[in-house]
Amino acid sequence: MATSHPRIQVTEDPELARALRAAAPHLPPGLPRSRQVRELAIAGARHLADEPPTEVRRVLLEDLAGYFEDPDTAPWDWDVLRGGKLDAWPLR
């Protein structure tokens, strides 16, 4: 299909083939390979843009772990969480 946009060449190496297989269930069925690569690239860019930097992520995870080590400091109500869990997944 003719386009005024520049084209790029991408080699489908084993790593890209694995990425395309992993993405396939999340893409509309029947897309040409070039559209699959395009959709995967756009989704990957969105993911990277939304992802906090590594150091920020590390600090956030350490803070979260701290709430489990000292539950009284957590900014949520553990009883409410337990109640919600039991409502969503009742014990049999």
Please tell me the total count of domains within the chain. Answer: 2
User: Looking only at Cα atoms, what is the longest distance across the chain?
Assistant: 63
Q: Is residue 26, in this structure, part of any structural domain at all?
A: yes
Q: Is residue 25, in this structure, part of any structural domain at all?
A: yes
Clarify whether residues 46 and 60 are in a common domain. Answer: no
Clarify whether residues 41 and 69 are in a common domain. Answer: no
Q: Is residue 58, in this structure, part of any structural domain at all?
A: yes
Higher pLDDT, 56 or 19: 19
Question: 16-25 contacts: CB < 8 A, separation 24 or more?
Answer: none
Q: Which domain holds residue 18?
A: 14-50
Amino acid identity of 2?
A
Q: Summarize pLDDT for 26-83 with one digit per residue, the tens.
A: 998 999 999 999 999 999 898 888 877 788 888 989 999 999 999 999 999 999 998 9
Clarify whether residues 31 and 58 are in a common domain. Answer: no
Tell me the backbone φ, ψ of residue 52, rounded to 5 degrees.
-65, 155
pTM to 2 decimal places: 0.52
Q: Report the range of poorest mean pLDDT among 3-12, 21-30, 46-55.
A: 46-55
